[in-house]
């Protein structure tokens, strides 16, 4: 059974961070070693929230403990997401560095959670810069949304061709093997001048680029990016190629969102609709771009 170290926020109520990502990976048959970067009552999008970021000293001790248990040697991958403090970025960078030295075959998937279109940055000052400076050089795969991708690449990409070019420039400058851009807007080079209510997930390597397009859902739930990356990492650990893992992840996510809307719940209804994780007939096709 493959295993993953997942380093993300934790909430008692709702589904964001590890609360959204761990169960789907387990459902796919992936063992998860879960470390929290926050301990919160719920996502900050709610009117009230209680809790705090995990102290860097405590986070370091948690890393020491799982390393003592052999997790760095035995886990096939590391996934990191939301980071609530500047101090924790450095602790995670050091831990990933040790992991990579002990496990040369291990994959580090960085979800560079820092902001989104419309809201801008929502992490503490200094964290976006540290993600780029300290974590990006260690990563094999990144899963930014379009806002985060443009920040990381220092571009203002419009077309998918521009996104592919910027992603490959980034791959050539780093140790990345794959860039997965979520929430990628429709592009004239695919759709012509007519804009359609679709959104894409673009999977780029040094040699190939694949696009999965879904209709836009006029709703917004916290944790969708965390759920996508958890699903993506789970399928990757099961042996799927990056584009196939992204296809299965976005197809499951889309269906869970649809069913959550139908149920009228305010949080992603992952547990009720867990069947979608492994067995989803609503598969969106992969478009080969290059």
With b for 16 or more beta-carbon neighbours within 10 A and e for fewer, the 184-199 pattern comes to: bbbbeebeeeeeeebb
Residue 122 is predicted with a pLDDT of 87
Q: Which residues pair with 110 in a beta bridge?
A: 80, 142
CA dihedral 135, 138, 143, 147 (to 10 degrees): 40
Q: What is the pLDDT of residues 75-121, one digit of tens each?
A: 999 999 999 999 999 999 999 999 999 999 999 999 999 988 878 88
Q: Supply the range of the domain harboring residue 8.
A: 3-288
Token match 């139908």: residue?
A: 262
CB-facing half-sphere around the CA of 122: CA atoms within 13 A: 13
CB-facing half-sphere around the CA of 207: CA atoms within 13 A: 1
Task: Write the CATH number for 136.
Answer: 3.40.1190.20
Q: How many of the other CB atoms lie within 10 Å of CB of 9?
A: 27
Residue 174 is predicted with a pLDDT of 96
Token match 């859902």: residue?
A: 217
Task: State the total domains in the chain.
Answer: 1
Measure Cα distances from 279 to 4, 60, 103, 128 in Å: 22, 38, 32, 36
Residue 195 is predicted with a pLDDT of 52
Per-residue pLDDT of the chain (290 residues; tens, 9 = 90+): 789 999 999 999 999 999 999 999 999 999 999 999 999 999 988 899 999 999 999 999 999 999 999 999 999 999 999 999 999 999 999 999 999 999 999 999 999 999 888 788 889 899 999 999 999 999 999 999 999 999 999 999 888 999 999 999 999 999 999 999 998 876 555 554 445 567 889 999 999 999 999 888 878 888 999 999 999 999 999 999 999 999 999 999 999 999 999 988 999 999 999 999 998 776 899 887 87
With b for 16 or more beta-carbon neighbours within 10 A and e for fewer, the 153-179 pattern comes to: bebebeebbebbbbbbebbeebebebb
């Amino acid at each position: 059974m493959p295993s993953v170290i997942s380093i993300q926020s934790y909430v008692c109520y709702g589904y964001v961070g590890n609360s959204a990502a761990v169960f789907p990976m387990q459902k796919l048959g992936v063992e998860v070693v879960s470390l929290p970067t926050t301990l919160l009552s719920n996502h900050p999008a709610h009117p009230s929230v209680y809790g705090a970021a995990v102290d860097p000293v405590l986070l370091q001790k948690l890393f020491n403990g799982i390393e003592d248990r052999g997790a760095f040697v035995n886990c096939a991958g590391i996934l990191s997401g939301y980071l609530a403090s500047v101090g924790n970025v450095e602790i995670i960078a050091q831990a990933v560095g040790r992991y990579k030295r002990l496990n040369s075959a291990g994959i580090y998937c960085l979800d560079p959670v820092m902001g989104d279109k419309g809201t801008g940055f929502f992490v503490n000052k200094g964290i976006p810069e540290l993600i780029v400076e300290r974590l990006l050089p260690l990563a094999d795969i990144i899963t930014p949304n379009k806002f985060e991708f443009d920040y990381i690449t220092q571009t203002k990409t419009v077309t998918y061709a521009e996104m592919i070019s910027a992603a490959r420039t980034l791959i050539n400058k780093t140790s990345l093997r794959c860039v997965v851009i979520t929430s990628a807007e429709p592009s004239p080079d695919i759709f012509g001048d007519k804009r359609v209510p679709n959104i894409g997930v673009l999977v780029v390597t040094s040699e190939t680029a694949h696009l999965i397009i879904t209709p836009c859902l006029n709703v917004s739930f916290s944790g969708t990016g965390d759920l996508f990356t958890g699903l993506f990492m789970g399928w990757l650990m099961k042996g799927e190629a990056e584009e196939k893992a992204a296809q299965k992840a976005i197809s499951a996510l889309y269906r869970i969102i649809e069913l959550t809307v139908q149920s009228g719940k305010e949080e992603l209804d992952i547990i009720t609709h867990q069947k979608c994780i492994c067995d989803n007939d609503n598969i969106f096709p992969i478009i080969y771009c290059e």
